[in-house]
Copies of this chain bind each other. A is one copy, B any other.
Amino acid sequence: MSISKNQFKLITSLSQKKYRQKHKLFIAEGIKVVQEILNSSFELETLFCTDDFSSDVSEEKIVRVSEADLKKISNLKTPNKALGIFKIPENKRDVNKGLTVALDAINDPGNLGTIIRLCDWFGVSELICSTDTVDCYNQKVVQASMGSLTRVSIRYVDLFKYLEETPKPTFIADMDGENVYKTSLPEQGILIMGNEANGVSDEIKNLITHKISIPRFGETQETESLNVATATAILLSEFKRSY
């Protein structure tokens, strides 16, 4: 069997958000990521794979392809045996307990993927994204999240409105904030992380109840800031270490 013209066109179109939203489909690649998504609650549309990729997917959903054909549809430098088209699940319900992470205009797909992995690791119940945050079904996000995408509840919302309405304590990282190592952090709350270049927008800063800071230990005090993903790692670790 080989890839039909229509399949090729569909796969190409799914690199754009508007077509992902229209078709409610997204792409994942490589043995590891595809296998993790196959083992999750996500639903497979079609699996393109080489003969040596084994899975328990029913044959009618499989298109066996040559290495050369896989290369044609792949976005990876080194295509790795499988490319799956999966269905984007319905927007999940509001999860109203535990720690929530909210992202304000995160642009970099690698950062979002890493933050999704962190949310999975630290058992964050929900990840809220502002509508101008990069799409979590962007292929680079899918690849960077390494399957964690299937285990974290992610919603895109009007972040200002969401924060205006929440009764939970809200936290941002701010150099003028309280030393996070000396702050008692609640089990329930919302940690808001901001855009790579501009941080959290002023509009949203005005809604925040708590500012916390990660102290700088370097002698020169010149390091400008931590990358948003590493700052998220440190703060989630602080929220969770006491529970």
For residue A238, CB closer than 8 A to chain B, the reply is yes
Number of interface residues of A (CB under 8 A): 35
Inter-chain CA distance A132–B200, complex, in Å, is 38
A240 touches B217 (CB 8 A): yes
Instruction: Tell me whether A219 is interfacial, beta carbon within 8 Å.
Output: yes
| Distance A121 CA – B224 CA, assembled complex (angstroms) | 9
A101-125 with Cβ < 8 A to chain B:
110, 114, 117-118, 120-123
Residues in B with CB closer than 8 Å to A148 are 223
Supposing A233-B234, A237-B214 touch, asked if A121 and B151 sit within 8 A by C-beta, the answer is no
Specify the main secondary structure of chain A where it touches its partner: helix
A151 and chain B: residue at smallest CB distance: B220
How many copies of this chain does one complex carry? 2
In the complex, are the beta carbons of A218 and B181 less than 8 A apart?
Answer: no
Find the B residue at minimum CB distance from A125.
B219
**Max chain B Cβ within 10 angstroms of own Cβ: one of A146, A219, A224:** A224
**A226 located at the interface, meaning its Cβ lies under 8 Å from any Cβ of chain B in the complex:** yes
Say if the beta carbon of A16 comes within 8 Å of chain B: no
Residues of A170-219 whose CB lies within 8 A of B: 181, 214, 216-219
Closest B residue to A238 by CB, please name it.
Answer: B237
Question: What string of 1s and 0s marks CB contacts (under 8 Å) between A223-241 and chain B?
Answer: 1101101111110011011
A121 near B233 with CB under 8 A, answer no
Taking the nearest CB of chain B, how far is it from the CB of A93, in angstroms? 17
Is A59 on the interface with B (CB-CB < 8 A)?
no
Give, as a whole number of angstroms, the nearest-CB distance from A17 to chain B: 20
A222 in the interface (beta carbon within 8 A): yes
Does A216 lie within 8 Å of B151, measured CB to CB?
A: no
A198–chain B nearest beta-carbon distance, Å: 14
Asked whether A223 and B117 contact (CB < 8 A) given A214-B237, A217-B123, the answer is: yes
Closest 8 CB pairs of A and B: A123-B217, A230-B233, A233-B233, A123-B218, A181-B241, A120-B223, A234-B237, A121-B223
